[in-house]
Chains A and B, each alone.
Chain A
Amino acid sequence: RPAAGQEVLKKKVSLVADQEELKTVFHRLSKEAGVKFIYISPGVPDQQRVTCLAVHEDLDVVLGRLLGPLHLRMEVVGNQVILKPEVPATVVVTARPVHGRVADGAGVPLEGVSVTVKGSNTGTMTDAKGAFTLDATEGTELVISYVGYASQTVKVTGGEVSVVLTKQQNSLNEVVVVGYGTQRKVDLTGSVSTVSAAQLEDRPVTSLGNALQGTMPGVTVIQNNGQPGRDAGSINIDGIGTLNSTAPLVVVDGIISSMNEVNPNDVESISVLKDAASAAIYGSRAANGVILITTKKGRKGASQIEYDVYVGKQTPTRLPDYLPSWQAATMYNQALANVGSAPVYSATDIQQYKDGSDPVGHPNTDWLNLFYNKKGLQQNHYLGISGGSEKTQYLFSLGYFDQEGNVAKTQAQRFTTRLNLTTQATRNLKAIANISYTFNPFQEPLSSYPGVSAFSQMIRQVNRISPMVPLKWANGDYAYIGDGNPIAWLNSPSLGTYNKYLLTGSAGLDWEPVKDLHVKPFVGYTLTQDQNKSYVADIQFYTATGSAGLYQGPNNVTDKYDNTTYVTLQATIDYMKHLGNHTLKILGGYSQEYTKYYELDGYRQSFLNNQLSDLNAASTTGQTSNGYSNELALQSFFGRFNYDYDGKYLFEANLRYDGSSRFDTANRFGTFPSLSAGWRISQENFFKPLRPIFSELKLRGSWGKLGNQNITGSNSDNTYYPYITTVSAGQNYVFGGANPAFAAGVAPINGANTALKWETTTETDLGLDAAFLQEALTFSAEYFVKNTSNILLNIPVSAPYGLNTPYQNAGAVQNKGWEFNANYRGRQGAFTYNIGANAAFIQNKVTSLAGTGPNISGITIQKVGLPINSFWGYEAEGLFQNATEVAKHATQSPNTGPGDIIYKDLNGDGKIDQTNDRTYLGTYFPKVTYGFNVGAGWKGIDLTAFFQGAAGVKGYAQGIAIGQVGTTVGKPTSAMLNAWTPSNPGASMPRLLTTSYLQNDPGTNPSSFWVRNASYLRLKNLQLGYTFPQGIARRIGAQRIRLYYSAQNILTITSFYKWIDPEAPAGTAGYDYPQIKTSTFGLNVTF
Chain B
Amino acid sequence: CKKNFLDRQPTDSLSNSSLFSDSSDVIAALNGCYSGWSNPVSGLQGWADGYNVIYMDACSDNVYSQYPWEGFQAYGNGSATPGGVVPNGNSDNLYNYVTIQKCNWFLSNVTRAPISTGLLARTQSEARFIRAYQYFMMSQLYGGVPLVTSSLTPAQADAVQRTTKDSVTQFVLSELAAIAPNLPVAYSGGAGSEIGRITRGAAVALKARIELYTGDYADCITDCQQVMQLGYALYPSYTDLFREKFAENSEVILDVKYIGNTSTSNTNWVVGVMPSFTYGGWSSLDPLQSLVDAYEMTNGKTIDDPTSGYDASNPFANRDPRLAASVVYPGEQYPYADGSSNYYDPLDASSSDFYQSGNNTSVTGYLEKKFTAVLSDYNGDNGIFNTGLSMILIRYAEILLMDAEAKIESGKIDATVYNDLNQVRARAGMPAVDQSVYNSQATLRTLVRRERRVELALEGLRWFDIQRWQIGAQVMAGPVTGARLGTVNATTGVVTYTGGNIPVETRLFDPSKNYLWPIPQSEIDINKQLKQNPGY
Chain A residues in the interface with B (C-beta under 8 A): 336, 341, 344, 450-451, 481-483, 538, 543, 547-551, 553-554, 556, 590, 592, 594, 603, 605-606, 621-622, 624, 627-635, 659-661, 668, 716-717, 720-721, 724-729, 731-751, 753, 796-803, 805-806, 808, 852-854, 856-858, 894, 913-915, 966-970, 994-996, 998, 1004
Contact = CB atoms under 8 A, between A and B. Distances in A.
B309 interface: no
Given A733-B257, A970-B358, 9 more contacts: A592-B5, A605-B381, A606-B261, A628-B11, A631-B8, A798-B527, A799-B95, A856-B83, A857-B87
Contact of B247 (A622, A627, A738): A738
B266 A734 contact: yes
Given A547-B338, A745-B31, A482 B101 contact: no
A550 B384 CA distance: 10
Contacts of A743: 27, 31, 34
B102 to A, nearest CB: 5
A746 B154 contact: no
B244 to A, nearest CB: 9
B14 A803 contact: no
Interface string B454-473: 00000000000000000000
Nearest to B29: A746
A968 B100 CA distance: 45
Contacts of B71: none
A727 B383 contact: no
Nearest to B197: A735
B300 interface: no
Contact of B34 (A621, A745, A798, A994): A745
A751 B154 CA distance: 9
B233 interface: no
Task: List the 9 closest A-B pairs by CB distance, nearest first.
Answer: A802-B101, A747-B32, A745-B31, A482-B360, A726-B13, A801-B157, A554-B381, A548-B338, A482-B277
Residue among B358, B385, B526 with max Cβ neighbours from chain A (10 Å): B358
A744 B196 contact: no
Contacts, number: 322
B116 to A, nearest CB: 20
Contacts of B101: 748, 800-803
A624 B262 contact: yes
Q: How large is the interface on B (under 10, 10 to 19, 20 to 34, 35 or more residues)?
A: 35 or more
A967 B358 contact: yes
Contacts of B191: 736-741
A635 B13 contact: no
Contact of A914 (B13, B83, B259, B385): B83
B190 interface: yes
A260 B250 CA distance: 62
Residue among B1, B35, B81, B83 with max Cβ neighbours from chain A (10 Å): B35
20 contacts: A482-B360, A661-B7, A720-B10, A724-B9, A727-B13, A729-B14, A731-B102, A733-B47, A737-B247, A739-B192, A741-B192, A743-B34, A745-B35, A797-B157, A798-B160, A800-B148, A915-B82, A967-B354, A967-B358, A994-B356
Given A801-B154, A914-B84, A729 B12 contact: yes
Interface stretch (B219-227, B431-439, B444-452, B517-525): B517-525
A956 B361 CA distance: 30
A633 B5 contact: yes
B337 A551 contact: yes
Contact of A543 (B66, B197, B261, B278): B278
B35 A732 contact: yes
Contacts of B27: 743
A798 B1 contact: no
B102 A797 contact: no
B68 A915 contact: no
B96 interface: yes
A736 B261 contact: no
Given A734-B196, A800-B152, A747 B33 contact: yes
Contacts of A806: 154
B491 to A, nearest CB: 12
Contacts of A606: 261, 381
Chain A facing B: main interface SS:
loop
B146 A800 contact: yes
A594 B7 CA distance: 11
B201 interface: no
A564 to B, nearest CB: 15
Chain B facing A: main interface SS:
loop
A747 B262 contact: no
A659 B5 CA distance: 10
A344 B16 contact: no
Contacts of B359: 481-482, 966-969
A644 B421 CA distance: 99
Contacts of B506: 894
A968 B277 CA distance: 11
B46 interface: yes
A635 B266 contact: no
B307 interface: no
Interface string B337-367: 1101010000001001010111111010000
Residue among A733, A742, A753 with max Cβ neighbours from chain B (10 Å): A733
Given A344-B349, A852-B526, A966-B358, A628 B12 contact: yes
A727 B16 CA distance: 6
Contacts of A481: 277, 359-360
A944 B115 CA distance: 80
B28 to A, nearest CB: 5
Contacts of B143: none
A808 B360 CA distance: 43
A721 B154 contact: no
Contact of B336 (A547, A735, A856): A547
A309 to B, nearest CB: 45
B31 A622 contact: no
B265 interface: yes
B154 A797 contact: yes
Contact of B383 (A551, A733, A746, A854): A551
B66 A797 contact: no
A659 B2 CA distance: 13
Interface string B85-114: 001000000011111111011100000000
B158 interface: yes
Given A725-B16, A733-B34, A717 B193 contact: no
Nearest to B84: A914
B386 interface: yes
A862 to B, nearest CB: 12
B426 interface: no
Contacts of A721: 8-10, 13
Interface string B16-43: 1001000000011111111110100000
Contacts of A737: 189-191, 193, 195, 247-248
Interface string B360-394: 11010000000000000001110101101010000
Contact of A733 (B13, B35, B160): B35
Contacts of A668: 6
A899 to B, nearest CB: 19
Contacts of B262: 622, 624
Residue among B10, B28, B29, B101 with max Cβ neighbours from chain A (10 Å): B10
Given A622-B263, A727-B14, A802-B97, A736 B193 contact: yes
Given A592-B5, A734-B266, A746 B277 contact: no
B91 to A, nearest CB: 14
B396 interface: no
A716 B8 CA distance: 13
Contact of A556 (B31, B263, B523): B263
A669 to B, nearest CB: 9
Interface string B207-220: 00000000000000
